Copies of this chain bind each other. A is one copy, B any other.
Amino acid sequence: MQELASGGRRRNRASSLKLTDVAPPPSTWWPGGLGKVSTHVVVYARLITNGKDHGVHGIIVQLRSLDDHTPLPGITIGDIGMKFGNGAYNSMDNGFLMFDHFRIPRDQMLMRLSKVTRDGKYVASDVPRQLVYGTMVYVRQSIVSNASTALARAVCIATRYSAVRRQFGSQNGGTKTQVIDYKTQQNRLFPLLASAYAFRFVGEWLKWLYTDVTQRLEASDFATLPEAHACTAGLKSMTTSATSDGIEECRKLCGGHGYLWCSGLSELFDVYVPACTYEEDNVVLQLQVARFLMKTVSQLSFVNVPSGTTVYMGRAKHLLQCSSGVQKVEDWLNPDMVMEAFEARALRMAVTCANNLSKFENQEQGFSELLADLVEVAIAHCQLIVVSKFIAKVEGKIEGKGVKKQLKNLCYIYALYLLHKHLGDFLRTKSVTPEQVALVNDQLRSLYSQLRPNAVALVDAFDYTYHYLGYVLGRYDGNVYPKLFEEALKDPLNDSVVPDGYREYIRPLIKQDFRSAKL
């Protein structure tokens, strides 16, 4: 007597499992390849045997006949319909799946670990559940690397086109100013360029982290898993959110032409944004980070010494009472001073939040009430990780003449841009003073000026092909306008100069001959 149920009905048959009939919402919606192609799926559902719920388990389910591809009786399956954008995921076979009184042979359950015996007895696995997090760490670290690639692509297009495009700045018919020379353009574009590099370096580090965790898991050492899990969850969230927003900002930075399909940016946006939702919603992920951080803070007074990316929390005593030593503009290029500001901000926010939580009698109720604050705590921690990995990178050995100098520029642009963007956090935690903030802005302007001559080279360094960047605005040769025109001429609407429908709709209007009009 066992059942895999999202509802609650049970049957008395020992040799098969049953998926209860599901009223809409269907039991699943979205999986790729499901709607039209797949013949089999692995269904994850709650396993209930002898009235006891044993949690989610996987079973192999055949969906379609292997002879004629028709769905098996009791299975409804199909395409979920159009998605965002023109292109993007519209070529993906995202499907829905519904079961109606569908039984599955017991031995199709994935039983290498947990088992159900012929007489319906559940045999639990002795393999630690945490192992499943290893896969999550892997998937999410790859999403961080992809974020860097996607953002770099958008930044490459916007940077090159900003160097080609000229607007204003000429009073008497002379050459207009390249838009990349405007501080407003630099102030929006260069932090995104820096972010693309930052996400690349933190992505590389996450790859190392995954390898490290995997080796430890194989040796049954689970100690670093919670921190690695929190870390990848938070960075998946932070980098995909920043990348989605960044791609759209790059589109706006290309002015009206960014809105053309041939800018390459609208397709990139449409295809990228689901990253904020898949593999767990970005806000939910930050709450997982926050829960881990609150636990770490609550244990600070005990013997536990925080490790990995929370190692700064071990210096809580110092970070809670220190004040930033920044006195002049150049101090904001001092790695220790920058790091201390980010660490003080992250720690103080975490500690304040933990204190506020402790005022609630019921911890879970407190957690629910303070969700918005908790997300901010998590973001502060994640930003600290990215900044620290970027600084570690540029303080290390870097090949190539002048490369280190350029990467340092990008690193401090990234850090100070974040500081400026989240100024409220830094000021309310008194991690910096209003006077030090004024110096941040001065330093940023100076860094933008230093970056400007190398901006195009820094996107050329991504070495993206013309095809990969998508069409016209991001051309390596800068030959944008003739190509934009060529691209427009390819549109089927331009196969004729007098459009279809002229005789039926336009001519009768012009000739005031409404009787012959098809309007």
- Which chain A residues have a beta carbon within 8 Å of chain B's beta carbons? 8, 24-26, 29-30, 35-37, 39, 53, 66, 68-71, 77-86, 89-90, 96, 173, 182-184, 187-188, 248, 251-252, 255-262, 266, 270, 273-274, 276-278, 281-283, 287, 368-373, 375, 420, 422-430, 434, 437-438, 441, 445, 481-482, 484-485, 487-491, 493-494, 497-499, 502, 506-507, 510
**Given contacts A84-B260, A183-B372, could you give 15 more A-B pairs where the C-beta distance is less than 8 Å?**
A69-B498, A70-B497, A77-B497, A78-B489, A82-B491, A84-B266, A183-B370, A187-B371, A187-B372, A252-B276, A255-B277, A256-B278, A259-B274, A424-B437, A427-B427
Contacts of A281 in B (CB 8 A): 255
Contacts of A373 in B (CB 8 A): 441
Contact A434 B423 (CB under 8 A): no
Give the distance in Å from the alpha carbon of A69 to the alpha carbon of B90 in the complex.
Answer: 37
Contacts of A53 in B (CB 8 A): 173
Contact A79 B491 (CB under 8 A): yes
Closest chain B residue to A449, Cβ basis: B369
Closest chain B residue to A35, Cβ basis: B493
Contact B445 A437 (CB under 8 A): no
Min CB distance A67 to B, Å, is: 9
Contacts of A79 in B (CB 8 A): 488, 491, 493-494
Give the distance in Å from the alpha carbon of A96 to the alpha carbon of B488 in the complex.
Answer: 9
Among B70, B81, B426, B482, which residue has its beta carbon within 8 angstroms of that of A488? B81
A25 with B481, Cβ < 8 A, contacts A371-B187, A373-B441, A499-B36 known: yes
Contact A82 B482 (CB under 8 A): no
Min CB distance A86 to B, Å, is: 4
Contact A70 B261 (CB under 8 A): no
Closest chain B residue to A282, Cβ basis: B252
Contact B368 A183 (CB under 8 A): yes
Among B184, B257, B372, which residue has its beta carbon within 8 angstroms of that of A283? B184
Contacts of A78 in B (CB 8 A): 488-489, 491, 493-494, 497
Counting from the closest, the 7 A-B pairs by CB-CB distance are A423-B424, A82-B261, A427-B427, A86-B86, A84-B266, A187-B372, A183-B371
Give the distance in Å from the alpha carbon of A481 to the alpha carbon of B96 in the complex.
Answer: 12
Contact A498 B424 (CB under 8 A): no
Contact A371 B182 (CB under 8 A): yes
Among B83, B182, B423, which residue has its beta carbon within 8 angstroms of that of A428? B423
Contact A369 B445 (CB under 8 A): yes
